[in-house]
Amino acid sequence: MLNTPASRIFRGMQDSLEEQHPINAEGITTHRSHVVIGANKKKPNTHTFSKRVMSNLSPSDQVLFECFGQGPITTVPFTGIHHAFEVNAVANPSAIAARHLDDSITYGELDRQANRLSALLAHYGVSNGDNVALFVQRSIPMLVGILAALKVGAAYVPQHVGVAPQAQLAHIINTASTKVILTLSWLRHLVPASEGHICIAIDEFMQEAKYQESSYAALFAPQTPISRHDRCFILFTSGTTGMPNGVQVTHGNVCNILLNEPGSLGMRPGVTVGQILNIAFDMAAWEILGCLAHGATLIIRGKDFAETAQNVDVLIATPTILSSLDADQCRNVKVAAVAGEPCPKPLADKWASFCTFYNSCGPTETTIVNTMQHYLPGSEQLTIGKPTPNNTVYILDADKKPCAIGEVGEMWAGGACVSAGYLNNPELNAERYAPDPFLGNGQVMFRTRDLGRWNADGELEIFGRVDDQVKVRGFRVELDSVSAILETTPSCVRAVTLKLDDRNLVGFVSPQTVDVEHAKQLVDSALPYYCVPSMVIALEALPMTSRGKIDKRALMQIAVAQQAETQQEEAPAQVQTVEVLS
**CA–CA distance, 403 with 475 (Å, rounded to integer):** 23
3-state secondary structure of 236: strand
Q: What is the CA radius of gyration of the chain?
A: 25
Q: Give the pLDDT confidence score for residue 577 in this predicted structure.
A: 40
| Beta partners for residue 133, in sequence order | 157, 181
For 142, residues 6+ apart whose C-beta sits below 8 A from its C-beta are: 134, 136, 202, 279, 300
Domains for the chain: give ranges and CATH numbers.
Answer: 5-73+390-463 (2.30.38.10), 107-256 (3.40.50.980), 261-389 (3.40.50.980), 473-570 (3.30.300.30)
Q: What is the DSSP letter of 367?
A: S
The 10s digit of each residue's pLDDT in 122-179 is 999 999 999 999 999 999 999 999 999 999 999 999 999 998 888 889 999 999 999 8
- pTM for the model stands at 0.84
Sign of CA dihedral 468, 469, 470, 473: positive
More confident residue, 365 or 29: 365
Rounded to 10°, the helix 140-151/81-91 angle is 120
pLDDT of residue 571: 60
H or E segment at 291? helix 282-293
pLDDT at 580 (0 to 100):
43
Instruction: Give just the sign of the alpha carbon dihedral 113, 114, 118, 124.
Output: positive
* 186 contact partners, CB below 8 Å, separation of at least 6: none
Average pLDDT, the chain: 89
- 345: Cβ contacts below 8 Å, ≥ 6 apart: 382, 484, 487
Among positive and negative, which fits the CA dihedral 68, 69, 71, 72?
Answer: negative
pLDDT digits (tens, 9 = 90+) for 72-119: 999 999 999 999 999 999 999 999 999 999 999 999 999 999 999 999
Looking at residue 464, its pLDDT comes to 80
d(CA 52, CA 304) in angstroms, rounded, equals 55
pLDDT in tens, 332-359: 999 999 999 999 999 999 999 999 999 9
Confidence band (pLDDT; 50, 70, 90) for 16?
low
Predicted confidence at residue 25, as pLDDT, reads: 56
